[in-house]
Structure 1
Amino acid sequence: MTGGATTGLAPGSAAETTSAPVSPPFRKAVRGWRGPLLAVLGLLVLSVVFTLLRPAPGTERPLDPDEGGLSGGRALAQLLRQNGVTVHRVTSVEEARARAGEGATLFVPDTLYLADEDATALADLPGDRVVAWSGLLDLETLAPGVKALEAATARSRDADCDLPAARRAGSAHIGGAAFSGPPGAVRCFPAGDGHSLIAYRSGDRTVTVLGGTSFMTNLRLAEDGNAALAMNLLGARSTVVWITDPVDEDGAGDPDGGTFSGEERPGLMDLVPAGVKLAAVQLVIAVLLVAVWRGRRLGPVVAERLPVVVRASETVEGRGRLYRSRRARDRAALALRTAAIDRMMPWLGLPHDAGPVEIVTAISTRARSSTGAAAEASEIGAALYGPPPEDDAGLVALADHLDRLERQVRQP
């Protein structure tokens, strides 16, 4: 079986190669970290985008007559101007004092940032007064006799009072806080044990206290009777002095939208919390350490001597003896035929998925052109796809036939 037989092992394929496997390149080493790194990078990009899209402090003030956002008051200011009311946007006590008069309405949409001395200065100004209470400030200064009772959810409420400004509007989206008023005060929009709108006369002026101003914003102005209520409250006089910023006694305001302390507007990094900055630094350090760890060079390949060297001829003989001892002529014949077909395919110019008919026809044509004699297709087919040999002599004959066909195919 081993005399001239050829197995599926290619000649010269001895297990003599002693080269160690080559280390993978850097891009393969970090491939496992590609997903987490992309996720972290995406989070950082989203953080930067959200920070950039976030309005800078002072650029979006609630109920600012120049603000066109959802919480701004530009729509209400435009309605007042279209109805002949002059709207003065002021940012300090001094500006309010210069604009206020007997025919003006002082509108304070937020008392959260008013200091006591600011409220005292505003209380001395002439004209009507509309105050939206936001907590902290004692109402006794701007609205004597009005007491805050409880918080109230802002929702659509019916006026349920005799105040013409509220009765003509009907329902409005109001709430925020509920108050009790002094004797003789008109109470509108019931909320809990109190009301969200208190109006009364104090001397020669009308004082109106609101629990919230959500009905005046650009978002809510077109709902219910919000626009009518806002116009009735602020449009009773020919002038509205509209305070939009926290004010102090010296009037150190920034008409262009800064802070009253005179500090510069914070930059992008000033808006990022300190904890986020520290986490970002730690993340960058961790990524660099992982990159150094996974991307280190392994150095040149070191050749290692194998303990045993097995030559190709010995491998062929050993496999032949194994087939012979087990009388596995079918497997030996299949190995011979498969190896012969694989070696002849490149010479025949056939694809790897070619069928038996195509292979037999191509070999017959190739053998006829090389020897000048006709090669029987049936004989070639029996050699390549016939039944296994019945004895060792038939297996040797099959190997010789396959060698002869291979030589004919390789001849030019």
Structure 2
Amino acid sequence: MTATRRTWLWVAAALAAIVAAAAVGTYLTSPRPGGRMDPHATGPDGAHALVTLLRDRGVDVVVAGSVADVERQARPDTLVLVAETMRITDEELLERLAKVPGDRLLIAPNPRARDALAPAIQAGPMRAFTAEPDCRMRAAERAGTVDLRSTATYVGKQGEAVRSCYAGALVRFHRGDQTVTVVGSESFMTNADLAREGNAALALNLAGARDRLIWYAPQHVEGGKHAAAKISDLIPNGVRWLFWQLCVALTLAAVWKGRRIGPLVAERLPVVVRASETVEGLGRLYRSRRARDRAALALRTATLHRLAPRLGMGPAPDPGALIATVTGRIGGNPDLLWHTLFGPAPDSDDALVSLARTLDDIERQVTTS
């Protein structure tokens, strides 16, 4: 083998090693996609950072993808964290969760999950604040001031012994031999907010209370009752004849008008602007002018326009009637729904993002209810 050939072989081997190292580094450092409170996601809404810290402290974190997984892994000495409860659509699943052994840590539960898993408390007003614990709960005292952003609060029902911290955003009570802890916000556990104030300490103290943690934050709808629904199932039986009559009338009108219209003429548009570019440009304009009030009004107006037809109401429903209808459909606190749909404008960009997520959650619950 000549010297020149050996030199080229060494160069090729070096290039292959560099490419392999770059590929491995890219794979290890690239963001891992996932939804809110996903323990594997490294995006802003994920919880990979918290799960990594818990495992570094020796906590055995078991990720459960379904209620059946929780039932298989739960033991009396475990802590079961339950989040993203709006995706649990079956009441039977919530009843099964209530029966598994171990303590509970409920993160921002919806009304159905709160009634099934934390019956000793009821919802209070919505708050947005950074606060001191103002209680004698060890996990909160060690964390000190935390930034919970927009959070629900809770109060104990009459006759129930409930400990409250952070003005009701964190509560704890005992149910038999179980300790149930409820937090009104999940933002302090996410990758984006874990480093704010004492958020990391509070998250580690709550989720690391036991040596074994079962993390259950479903990323898809579980229960499937509404997944199999068809369009025909959404039409009441009493108006089906009217629906078909309207279809016939529209067909006849199209045939009648079609006779008077000449052949189509293709016309080139001077400029084609994609819808995504229009939305992005409008959003940047709002942000540059700090027009959070106009952005919030646009979000709320769009949500109301989509909710009204789904609730069987007119294009301009009465706010009181709309709140009553939504409350009857998905439950929840009427005052909180009023504050979300018709309340004041957000005072920060983070509050505006939280409002958008809350509006999306309300619309999704109405759609699947």
TM-score by length of 2: 0.50
1:178 to 142, 149, 153: 153
Aligned residue number for residue 206 of structure 1: 179
Aligned residue number for residue 188 of structure 1: 165
Q: Is the 8 A contact 1:91 1:247 kept in 2?
A: no
Q: Is the 8 A contact 1:80 1:231 kept in 2?
A: yes
Tell me the alpha carbon deviations over residues 303-322 of structure 1, each in whole angstroms, 9 at most, x when there is no partner: xxxxxxxxxxxxxxxxxxxx
Matches within 5 A, 1:247-262: 248=222
Answer 1 or 2: higher relative contact order, Cα 8 Å, separation at least 6: 1
2:204 matches 1:228: no
| CA deviation after TM superposition for structure 1 residue 288, in Å | 4.8
Take 1:248 and 1:290, find their aligned partners in 2: how far apart are those partners? 48
2:99 to 113, 124, 128: 124
In structure 2, what residue type is equivalent to 1:220? D
Take 1:248 and 1:219, find their aligned partners in 2: how far apart are those partners? 26
Q: Is the 8 A contact 1:66 1:72 kept in 2?
A: yes
Aligned residue number for residue 12 of structure 1: none
| CA deviation after TM superposition for structure 1 residue 197, in Å | 0.7
1:75 to 49, 56, 59: 49
Give unmatched runs, 5+ long, in structure 1: 1-57, 253-259, 263-285, 292-412
Q: Is the 8 A contact 2:85 2:217 kept in 1?
A: no
**3-state SS of paired residue (1:112):** helix
Tell me the alpha carbon deviations over residues 293-336 of structure 1, each in whole angstroms, 9 at most, x when there is no partner: xxxxxxxxxxxxxxxxxxxxxxxxxxxxxxxxxxxxxxxxxxxx
CA change 1:163–1:68 in 2 (3 A) is same
| CA deviation after TM superposition for structure 1 residue 236, in Å | 1.0
Give unmatched runs, 5+ long, in structure 2: 1-31, 229-263, 270-369
Q: Is the 8 A contact 1:67 1:74 kept in 2?
A: yes
Tell me the alpha carbon deviations over residues 53-93 of structure 1, each in whole angstroms, 9 at most, x when there is no partner: xxxxx953101110000111000000000011111111111
In structure 2, what residue type is equivalent to 1:189? Y
In structure 1, what residue type is equivalent to 2:213? V
| CA deviation after TM superposition for structure 1 residue 167, in Å | 0.7
| CA deviation after TM superposition for structure 1 residue 158, in Å | 1.0
| CA deviation after TM superposition for structure 1 residue 247, in Å | 5.8
Aligned residue number for residue 113 of structure 1: 87
In structure 1, what residue type is equivalent to 2:206? L
C-alpha RMSD of the superposition: 2.8
Take 1:124 and 1:62, find their aligned partners in 2: how far apart are those partners? 26
Take 1:92 and 1:99, find their aligned partners in 2: how far apart are those partners? 11
Matches within 5 A, 1:64-103: 64-103=38-77
TM-score by length of 1: 0.45
| CA deviation after TM superposition for structure 1 residue 134, in Å | 4.3
Take 1:214 and 1:261, find their aligned partners in 2: how far apart are those partners? 28
In structure 2, what residue type is equivalent to 1:61? G
Would you say how many aligned residue pairs link Structure 1 and Structure 2?
Answer: 200
Matches within 5 A, 1:9-408: 59-115=33-89, 116-137=91-112, 139-153=114-128, 155-174=129-148, 175-182=150-157, 183-190=160-167, 195-245=168-218, 246=220, 248=222, 288-290=266-268
Identical-pair percentage:
34
| CA deviation after TM superposition for structure 1 residue 176, in Å | 1.6
Tell me the alpha carbon deviations over residues 331-375 of structure 1, each in whole angstroms, 9 at most, x when there is no partner: xxxxxxxxxxxxxxxxxxxxxxxxxxxxxxxxxxxxxxxxxxxxx
CA change 1:136–1:205 in 2 (3 A) is closer
| Greater mean deviation of Cα atoms: 131-140 or 61-70 | 131-140
CA change 1:201–1:290 in 2 (3 A) is closer
Instruction: Write 1 or 2 for the structure with the bigger share of helix.
Output: 2
Take 2:64 and 2:221, find their aligned partners in 1: how far apart are those partners? 9
Tell me the alpha carbon deviations over residues 153-211 of structure 1, each in whole angstroms, 9 at most, x when there is no partner: 2x321111000000110011124211102532110001xxxx11111111111101111
